[in-house]
Amino acid sequence: MSRTRALRLEIPIMAGMLACFAFGAGATGQASPHNTGLPDAASATDIAYPVNSTTTGLVALLLTVDASGSVQSTSVLKDTPPLTASAEAAIQKWKFTAGGFHGKAATTLLPVYIVFNPYNPAGTAPVSGGLQAPPAIPPHWSSGVPPQVRLASYAMYPPNTLATGTVVLSVDVNRSGHATHIRVVHGVSPLRDAALDVVKQWGFQPATAGGETVAGRICIAFVFQRNLS
């Protein structure tokens, strides 16, 4: 997987394929994201904090997924050093399913948002501060842009647990900007329940294609741990 440190506007994707990058293709945007060949995360692994780092925050990446489900490149939408490098390294181990266009696999784009959550085992203290949403993806591509996170917040550790790990969610965003279906790709209870609860409170901007809003998909990960060594 190639890695870029800033969003590249010249991502090499054929114009005819852009209409399906992480959202439902079609002139009216009526199709469900479950049957329009959206790219998705098939499996995921934990994301580790960088050694000796206590930084928290949000990393946003835009993946280019080819017709075989392999990640061709990664563009950084929001860089939070040193967390970004750790997120990119972990995602190289993830598996993806390809998106499609008119029934055929194609190169598509999939946004991935990674939250390095404040360390708060057993929920003994409130989570202070909030998350700043990444800059909007520029409408460079003539066919539109994928869905985006516009309002985000940290998750609370479930009470009475010392569990750590990463939860990865696949989130379908409808044309009204609401999360209509959330699937757990990776993670164990009770951490996944905390992630599911907070994502339902996030705000999303729907994907656009041909000047109209359409259904789409993004991935969101929460890292419930911190390196204290």
Q: Is residue 188 part of a domain?
A: yes
For residue 129, the model assigns a pLDDT of 61
Query: CATH number of the domain that 120 lies in?
Result: 3.30.2420.10
What pLDDT score was predicted for residue 218? 97
What pLDDT is recorded for position 113?
Answer: 97
- Residue 196 within any structural domain of the chain: yes
133 lies in a domain? no
Residue 11: the pLDDT is 35
Q: How far is C-alpha 171 from the geometric centre of its chain's CA atoms?
A: 8
Asked if residue 195 belongs to a domain, the reply is yes
b (16+ CB within 10 A) / e for 5-42:
eebeeebebeeebbbbbbbbbbeebebebeebbbbbbe
Q: What pLDDT is attached to residue 132? A: 84
Is 15 in a helix, a strand, or coil?
helix
Strand partners, 204: 149
Residue 27 confidence (pLDDT)? 29
Q: Mean pLDDT, consecutive 10-residue segments, the chain of 229 residues? A: 39 36 40 61 95 91 94 94 96 94 87 92 66 78 79 88 93 96 95 95 92 93 80
Domain for residue 146, yes or no? yes
pLDDT for 83: 96
Dump the DSSP string for 160-203: T----EEEEEEEEE-TTS-EEEEEEEE--TTHHHHHHHHHTT-E
Domain span including residue 180: 2-7+16-124+139-224
Q: What is the pLDDT of residue 227?
A: 67
Task: Please check whether residue 132 lies inside any domain of the structure.
Answer: no
